[in-house]
Structure formats: C-alpha cells, structure tokens
Structure 1
Amino acid sequence: MKKLLFTCIAATLLMACQQGPVRYTQNSPEIDTVKKLIANYDSKVFDTSMYADTSKTYYNTKDNPMSPSETMDYHKQTDTNYSSRGFQKENQDYEMVVTDDGETWVNCWLNWGGTLAANGKEVSIPIHLTYQFAEGKIVRELGYWDPTEIVLTLQQIEAEAKMAEENSASE
C-alpha cells in the first residue's frame, strides 16, 4: 500500500513539474529575425524577405497599413530628412511571447537617434516595435513613437525657407 501511495505521489509530482510550451523568452529565431531587420534598417538595406507577402505594417496608426515594399519605400523617403540615423546599440530590449490564442509576437523597445540634414539638429526618440510571426515570417508590424519634435522642426525649417523666399522675391 505504501508503494502504491508513494508511486501515486511521485507520478503527481512528475506531472506537475512538466512544463508546457515556452510562452515567453528573450532568445528565439523570431527575435533574431527582428534584430536582423533592425540591423538592415541601420545599414540602409531595404530587404523584404523577412515579411510574408500579405504582411501589414502600421506606424503610429491603426488605419492605412503598408505592404512590405511600401514600408521600405517609407524608410527611403524619410531618410532624405537625415544626414545620419539609426537605432542606438545600448538599452535594446527584446522579448517573444506566445498569446493564449497561439499567436507569436516579438516586442522590442529601442532608442532611435538621427541628425536632421537641414540644420544638424540631433534627435533621440524611444520607440516600441512589435511584430507578429506566422511560419517564420512577419505578418504584422506595429510601431509607436512620438514624432512631434521632428515634425515641428521640419515645419519650422520649411516656414523659414518660405519666408526667406518671399523676402528675396520682394527685394
């Protein structure tokens, strides 16, 4: 009887100690894919191979998604505003989670820095990016940051250029 009781207790403990699938990690192939995507951005390599063809990207919006090629075009267009730009190497945090619905997401918190080409002003912005994966490919990308400082500075530069143009035309 003691053996039976001991066997039942041991079996119960063994089952209780078995872990299910990993639902949170800071090391995964998906995180490596995101790190490669960030490195590509920093090197101005506009590669869409990490995205599924149907992937949708949303930056600071929940409407008007961009396709992978439109996302790369967006980066190329915004690059014209900067003499240099990229993600800072320190304080980068990455995590992968599997939701209760079985979706795989990689979240990252990064600091971005850039120097405006028009006036040399340096800007640093914290950014949150999150990527949903399916079958090893990015199927959805969400990016959130506060662009206010850059937008206001570019508007000021544009207004000053317009005023200078008007002043030279009236002379």
Structure 2
Amino acid sequence: MKKNILKCTVVLLLLAACQQGPVRYTQNSPEIETIKKLIDNYDNKAYGTSMYADTSKTYYNTKDNPMSAVETMEYHKEAENVYSSRGFEDEHQEFEMVVTDDGETWVNCWLDWKGSLAANGKEMTIPVHLTFQFVEGKIVREHGYWDPSQIVLELQKIAAEAKMAETEQTE
C-alpha cells in the first residue's frame, strides 16, 4: 500500500512539473499578425489608426515627445515627398512576441527598410527595429529605432548642390 501511495505521489509530482505555464515567447500570435498588417499598410501607403488605442504613444529615435496615432500617420505621409519609392524588404524580417515578468505584451521586429530619394534617385537600405506594446489587442506604445544619418547626409548634399546652383545663376 505504501509503495502504491509513493508511486502515485511521484507520478503526480512529475505531471505537475511538466505543466507549462502561459506562453511568454512566441513567433506566432495575433499581435504579430497585427504588426505584419501595419507594415503592409505602410508599404502600400494605407494609413489608418484602427490598430492603435486612442491613447497610444509613438516614439521614433527618441524617448521624449511622443506622437499620437494620428500624428504618426501624418509623419509617414509627410515623408512621402522625400522618396520616389520606399518600404520594408520582404527578406530577413524577424518577429517575436514576449510577455514580460510584469505581464506586458510586446511585439519586436527587425526589418530592412529600402527607399529611393525623389530628388536624385539614390537608393538606401537601413536596418530598423520596431517594438510595440499591446493591451487588449491594440497598440498602446510604439518605439522605432534606426540610423537616419545616411538619408540626412544625402538630403544635406542635395540642398547644398541646389544652393550652389542658385548662387551661380544669380552671379
């Protein structure tokens, strides 16, 4: 009898040890699908805020001065004038969803952005990291990080060349 109780106890302990808790990391989730759709919308210039909570905050290359969802879409629309084409490359896209120790749900993605400047056709590829916090299926916080120096330097060069051409015409 004691052996049976001991065996049952060991079996129960083993079963309890094998029980998995909630998923804390995945590469497949509804939240990841939302971000893939958001990126597809960006690539197709379909700007909408339905994926964002009304109180969402977006930070691009900063930790200060967040933008609302509407301001974020306006930011992307204004940038359209600078590029003849732009979007995220299909290759080497990585997505993950994590649930933090505090129970926050975040989706991280690593992408390559490619664009051509409207002024001179120069093509540039820039690695981008985006991270999104979700609450009840909506984006409540977005952070984006990339190095814009290649674009800034090229735009400064274009502006300097235009200024020089303008000066030569007035002389």
Aligned to 1:72: 73
Task: Give the aligned CA root-mean-square deviation in angstroms.
Answer: 0.5
Once superposed, which parts of structure 1, at least 4 consecutive aligned residues long, lie more than 4 Å away?
A: none
Aligned to 1:32: 33
Structure 1 residue 163: Cα displacement: 1.2
Give percent identity, aligned residues only: 71
Structure 1 residue 96: Cα displacement: 0.1
CA distance in 1, matches of 2:170, 2:95: 53
User: Any stretches of 5+ residues in structure 2 without a counterpart?
Assistant: none
Aligned to 2:167: 166
1:40-69 Cα offsets, whole Å, 9 max, x none, are 000000010000010000000001100001
Counterpart secondary structure, 1:80: helix
Aligned to 1:53: 54
- The reply to whether residue 136 of structure 1 matches residue 137 of structure 2 is yes
User: Any stretches of 5+ residues in structure 1 without a counterpart?
Assistant: none
CA distance in 1, matches of 2:128, 2:74: 20
CA distance in 2, matches of 1:133, 1:166: 52
1:15-35 Cα offsets, whole Å, 9 max, x none, are 000000000000000000000
Aligned to 1:104: 105
CA distance in 1, matches of 2:106, 2:154: 34
- The reply to whether residue 62 of structure 1 matches residue 67 of structure 2 is no
- The reply to whether residue 95 of structure 1 matches residue 75 of structure 2 is no
Structure 1 window deviating more from structure 2 (161-170 vs 43-52): it is: 161-170
- The reply to whether residue 3 of structure 1 matches residue 20 of structure 2 is no
Structure 1 residue 73: Cα displacement: 0.5
TM-score if structure 2 supplies the norm length? 0.99
